[in-house]
Amino acid sequence: MSELFSKCRADAEAHARAEYPRESVGLVVSVRGKPAYVPCRNQSEEADHFILHPEDYAATEDLGDIIAVVHSHPDAGPEPSLHDIASHAASRMTWWIVGLKDGAATWHVMPAAGEMPLEGRVFVHGAIDCYTLVRDYYRQELGVELMDFHRKDDWWHNGESLYVDNFAKAGFVPVATPEPGDLIVMAIGSPTPCHGAIWLEGDVLLHHLYGRLSCREVYGRAYRECTTHILRYKGVLPTI
Ligand SMILES: [Zn+2]
């Protein structure tokens, strides 16, 4: 889970402890790309179960984009129960579970049904490539839907410059030093800036290189030397 969520996680954990021994339930809402935890009422009469109050869901939806449903396991680990697995699949949303077994909080994240995990993906150009990972990261982690671009294989050798030509239109501005969630654009194996990665806390890149699985790795010298842009998402201005 991204560092952007540490405050959300701490708030959700505090809520889980306050509700103990009942299950807590809440929502993570993204307000212009900034996530916040919203505690909700649990309508369930049973101890080891939750039903999120529909009024709380509706009120949270008015604040921004709901990006995750959170609940607690007061006396167990965070692994989903059979009921959780079924309800998660039906909800088509991302779930976070916090387990409070033996007093320590541990987390389990269930990506929305149909979402690919961010790491360990196989590269398929134009379908599962570096920009697919960037878009999925922004949607899954920040609740931001970035625009998509049709791209032909090998576009970087054919006079196209997907990142440089489009970043302003997609809501990004160049910055000098990266912060978590920023987009690092690099010219790798080509004079054209052809590769995009997400910069994360700890000087780590989350990215997907051609011919490799998507992964996290240190933003080392070789990557710095081929970096052409550091871009920060500021949102897309409404078109008139
Ligand atoms: Zn559960």
Tell me whether residue 158 is in a domain: yes
User: Could you tell me if 23 and 98 lie in one domain?
Assistant: yes
128 vs 188: CA distance, rounded Å: 18
Non-local CB neighbours of 206 within 8 Å, separated by 6+ positions: 118, 119, 133, 137, 197, 198, 200, 214, 215, 216
Tell me whether residue 65 is in a domain: yes
Tell me whether residue 123 is in a domain: no
CA atoms within 13 A on the CB side of 54: 0
Tell me whether residue 205 is in a domain: yes
111 vs 115: CA distance, rounded Å: 6
User: Could you tell me if 174 and 221 lie in one domain?
Assistant: yes
User: Could you tell me if 101 and 198 lie in one domain?
Assistant: no
Tell me whether residue 16 is in a domain: yes
Q: Is the pLDDT score of 154 beyond 80? A: no
Q: Is the pLDDT score of 228 beyond 90? A: yes
Element spanning 58, H or E = helix 54-61
Rounded to the nearest whole angstrom, what is the distance from the C-alpha of residue 42 to the centroid of ligand 1?
13
**The total number of residues written for the chain in this structure:** 240
Which of 77, 110, 143 marks a domain boundary? 110
Rounded to the nearest whole angstrom, what is the distance from the C-alpha of residue 92 to the centroid of ligand 1?
16
Which of 110, 144, 166 marks a domain boundary? 110
The catalytic site residues sit at: 130, 195, 207
User: Could you tell me if 106 and 7 lie in one domain?
Assistant: yes
Tell me whether residue 177 is in a domain: yes
Rounded to the nearest whole angstrom, what is the distance from the C-alpha of residue 109 to the centroid of ligand 1?
12
85-141 pLDDT, tens digit per residue, is 989 988 889 999 999 999 899 999 898 888 888 988 888 877 889 999 999 999 888
User: Could you tell me if 92 and 144 lie in one domain?
Assistant: no
Question: Which pLDDT score, from 0 to 100, does residue 124 have?
Answer: 85
Rounded to the nearest whole angstrom, what is the distance from the C-alpha of residue 68 to the centroid of ligand 1?
14
User: Could you tell me if 99 and 11 lie in one domain?
Assistant: yes
Between the alpha carbon of residue 33 and those of residues 63, 90, 123, 240, the distances in Å are 12, 25, 27, 22
User: Could you tell me if 98 and 134 lie in one domain?
Assistant: no
Which of 65, 80, 110 marks a domain boundary? 110
Q: Please give the mean pLDDT across all residues of the chain.
A: 89
Greatest mean pLDDT among 100-104, 126-130, 158-162, 203-207: 203-207
Residue appearing with tokens 């990142």: 163
Tell me whether residue 122 is in a domain: no
User: Could you tell me if 15 and 80 lie in one domain?
Assistant: yes
Is residue 30 a contact partner of residue 53, using CB atoms and an 8 Å limit? no
User: Could you tell me if 134 and 224 lie in one domain?
Assistant: yes
Rounded to the nearest whole angstrom, what is the distance from the C-alpha of residue 77 to the centroid of ligand 1?
9
Structural domains of the chain, count: 2
DSSP symbol at 80: P
Rounded to the nearest whole angstrom, what is the distance from the C-alpha of residue 83 to the centroid of ligand 1?
7
Rounded to the nearest whole angstrom, what is the distance from the C-alpha of residue 132 to the centroid of ligand 1?
31
Q: What CATH number does residue 27 fall under? A: 3.40.140.10
User: Could you tell me if 11 and 99 lie in one domain?
Assistant: yes
pLDDT band of 237, cuts 50, 70, 90: low
User: Could you tell me if 171 and 91 lie in one domain?
Assistant: no
Rounded to the nearest whole angstrom, what is the distance from the C-alpha of residue 115 to the centroid of ligand 1?
20
The backbone torsions φ and ψ at residue 162, rounded to the nearest 5 degrees and listed phi first, read -50, -50
User: Could you tell me if 142 and 194 lie in one domain?
Assistant: yes
Tell me whether residue 117 is in a domain: no
Mean pLDDT, residues 192-200: 93
Asked if the bond preceding 21 is cis, omega within 30° of 0, the reply is: yes
Q: What CATH number does residue 198 fall under? A: 3.90.1720.10
46-81 pLDDT, tens digit per residue, is 877 899 999 999 999 999 888 899 999 999 999 999
23-46 pLDDT, tens digit per residue, is 999 999 988 777 899 999 999 988
The two tokens of residue 71 are: 């609940």
Q: Domain range for residue 18? A: 3-110
Is residue 197 a contact partner of residue 21, using CB atoms and an 8 Å limit? no
Closest CA to 47 of 71, 73, 23: 23
